[in-house]
Amino acid sequence: MSLILNIDTTTNVCSVAVANKGKLIDVIETTDDKNHSHVLTVFIEKIFNKNKLNIQDLSAVAISEGPGSYTGLRIGTSVAKGICYANNIPLISIDTLQALAYNVKKTADYNNGLICPMIDARRLEVYFSIFDKKLVKLTKTESKIINNDSFNNELKNNKITFCGNGSQKCKEYIKSENAVFFNNVITSAKNMVELSYNKLINNEFVDVAYFTPFYLKSFIAIKSKKNLLYKPE
């Protein structure tokens, strides 16, 4: 058995999936972004009990590495590391954008063009990469503020499928006939199962102690304007 627990907490979706030899067994997920810290371990326990599996039987844990929500990434990584430490099993990291691109590639409507997964970075900013039909990354992962000129050069000679929770707000700015938008492609642990299995059989693991998620941007704490100290008259 090559049993892998896949975890994705990069966006508002909190998702866990178990798979054996790259074949999905089950997935549990929610889109409530306020409860990742409360539901993640519950989902993991539930999916193993439901399918009569044991954590000790895992060959690896796979974590969606980002980019994405700073808090979500920390929650998912902490849980994944804890399971790996406790059971002495390896940790696999999966590029979140590549997993989104892989989901597009599996759909019947995919037109064999380029794929541009996008993660919402608030306002008009997105995290993105561009992949070819073989899921080879053609650009580095970066952030971009979307405007009317965004991706004009890439769209001149290429069909590009935009997907992910950052893509829908780009529709009114990206008007090229070569631009295709997939509404129903979201981050999910089930998109990771074949990618994580390929890494398992190739022994592509990350160091459990030193692995950190790909935040892309540093976390910035904003000082409250409220006076939190009570000062008696």
d(CA 82, CA 63): 12
pLDDT digits (tens, 9 = 90+) for 112-171: 899 999 999 988 899 999 999 999 999 999 999 999 999 999 999 999 999 999 998 998
Per domain, the residue ranges of the chain are 3-95+187-201, 97-181
Token duo for residue 122: 């608030």
Within the chain, residue ranges assigned H as helices are 36-50, 70-87, 96-106, 152-155, 193-201
**pTM score:** 0.89
Confidence of residue 222 (pLDDT cuts 50, 70, 90): very low
Task: Work out the widest C-alpha separation in the chain, in whole angstroms.
Answer: 70
d(CA 201, CA 78): 24
pLDDT digits (tens, 9 = 90+) for 21-77: 999 999 999 987 668 888 999 999 999 999 999 999 999 999 999 999 999 999 999
Which residues, in sequence order, are CB contacts of 147 under 8 Å at separation 6+? Answer: 124, 173
* Domain 97-181, CATH class in plain words: alpha beta
d(CA 68, CA 213): 9
Q: Which H, E and C letters describe 90-151, residue by residue?
A: CEEEECHHHHHHHHHHHCCCCCCCEEEEEEECCCCEEEECCECCCCCECCCCEEEECCCCCC
Residues across the chain? 233
Q: Do domains 3-95+187-201 and 97-181 have the same CATH topology?
A: yes
Confidence of residue 184 (pLDDT cuts 50, 70, 90): confident
Residue 218: C-alpha distances to residues 66, 185, 205, 213 (Å):
13, 27, 25, 11
Q: What is the CATH number of domain 3-95+187-201?
A: 3.30.420.40
Which residues, in sequence order, are CB contacts of 54 under 8 Å at separation 6+? Answer: 48
